[in-house]
Structures are given as C-alpha cells and as structure tokens.
Amino acid sequence: MRPISILLACFILYEPATAALQPVTTAGNFAFYIDEDVSLHHRNWWPAHHAAIEKYLAELLPLIDQHGSCIAAGLERAYGASLPENQPVRVDLAYVTNWTNAYTTGNPAVVHIGVSDPSLQGLYGLELMYHEVSHGSWTEPALTKLVERTFLSIKQEAPRRFWHVVIFITAGTMTRQCLKKVGIDNYQRYAEVYGGLASRDGWREIWQALDKKWAPFLVGESNDRDAAMLGAVNAYRELVTR
Ligand SMILES: [Zn+2]
C-alpha cells in the first residue's frame, strides 16, 4: 500500500500534461511518448520527473525487446485476435497519471503509464504493458464476446468483472510463461502480488476458475479456446454455488 499522504501529494501536484507529438522511441508493439508537464508549479519538479521517465524507459525497453514478441503472440492466441501489426500502440508516459497509474483510453487505444508507481516497476511494468494493450479495440471486444457467449451457452449472465480478470490472468500467465522459457521461473503474476486482486471478494472465485481451466490453455496444454473458457465458466459456477 502506498502511504496516503504521498498519493494525495501526487494528486495535488499533478496537472494534465502536454501531449507529446513525436514518440521518443518504439519497441515491440509500442511507441512511447513523454507527456511533458510545463505547468508553472511543476517547473521545479519536471527535471526530476523527466529523469524518472527516462530511467523507467531504459529499464522497460530491454524487457520488451527480450520478451515482448513471446507475450504478444500468447495474447493473440488467447484472444483469437491480432494486435495492430504496422501501427505501434501509443503509450503516454508521465510521472503520475491517475490512481491506477496504468489505464487505457480511446479508439485507437492509448496506454497511459505513471512511472512513479511502485507496482509498475521491472517485470511488473512489462506485464502491465501487455495487460493494458489487451484493452484495445483490437482484442478486448473478441475477449468480451467470448466471455458473454460462453455464459449465454449455460444460460447465465457474465459477472461484471469476469472479462477483466481474464485480462489480468492472461497477461500475467503469458508473462510468467515467457519468462520461464528463458530460465526465470519464480515470477508471480501481478494480481497475485498487488492489491490482493486474485484473492479479494468478487475476484477470488473468478481467478481460481480461470487459473484452473483457462491458464492451461494459455500455456499450450490444450488448443481449444472455447472449451477452455467453458471449463472456466463452469468451474466458476461451481465455486459460487457451493
Ligand atoms: Zn485492465
């Protein structure tokens, strides 16, 4: 948990940043832009914030270069949809964005990352990049349709959070799987580490069901996407009707 005083201070200091016109760099599926804050009371802060953004990029880019194509291929297989091929996804980097510090808006989607967030560092920054890109119009509709039609097939309504937990577990499991392929085998997925996401009320049963029936499909133990989702939906129903 971040101390509330720090969080409040960030909100007080933060003002909408100036959107950059040109990317500072591209890597994998992404083009990175730095939101330069030129507001008056930020003048003193900007050099330090800019340095923090540059440092964040310097750490993130090699991770994308090394693992990005593996994770992206896993997402495309999972969702049955392609990430944009010739057009990199815009990523706006700022020191602080909103309370989540990682979110996606618009169509075409723009990913927003607040680089100061302790939960978005290192390999978790990598996972969250692929979590956020999953929210784009190129993949999210395919995923939500899969969830809706699977629940419909058993005459149930999909719980509101279900599809979002699918994104958490898919990006997390593919990151873990791609790291394992290069010998990093102690990675715990973001939702298992931060905010108690995998174990909080309303999420726990969805996470457990997806982990049991959807995650094996993600790592190639089966090739039937629809069957894997149906298995997860049935497992979820069993967990909540016990
Ligand atoms: Zn999300």
What is the 84 CA–ligand 1 centroid distance (Å)? 18
What is the 198 CA–ligand 1 centroid distance (Å)? 13
This prediction's pTM: 0.88
Per-residue 3-state assignment (H helix, E strand, C coil) for the chain: CCCHHHHHHHHHHCCCCECCCCCCEEECCEEEEECECCCHHHCCCHHHHHHHHHHHHHHHHHHHHHHHHHHHHHHHHHHCCCCCCCCCEEEEEECCCCCCCEEEECCCCEEEEECCCHHHCHHHHHHHHHHHHHCCCCCHHHHHHHHHHHHHHCCCCCCCCHHHHHHHHHHHHHHHHHHHHCCCCCCCCHHHHCCCCCCCCCCHHHHHHHHHHCHHHHCCCCCCHHHHHHHHHHHHHHHHCC
Q: Domain coordinates of the chain in residue numbers?
A: 4-134, 140-240
Residue 72 has pLDDT above 80, yes or no: yes
What is the 175 CA–ligand 1 centroid distance (Å)? 15
pLDDT tens digits along 86-133: 889 999 998 887 778 899 998 889 999 999 999 999 999 999 999 999
What is the 223 CA–ligand 1 centroid distance (Å)? 25
What is the 44 CA–ligand 1 centroid distance (Å)? 33
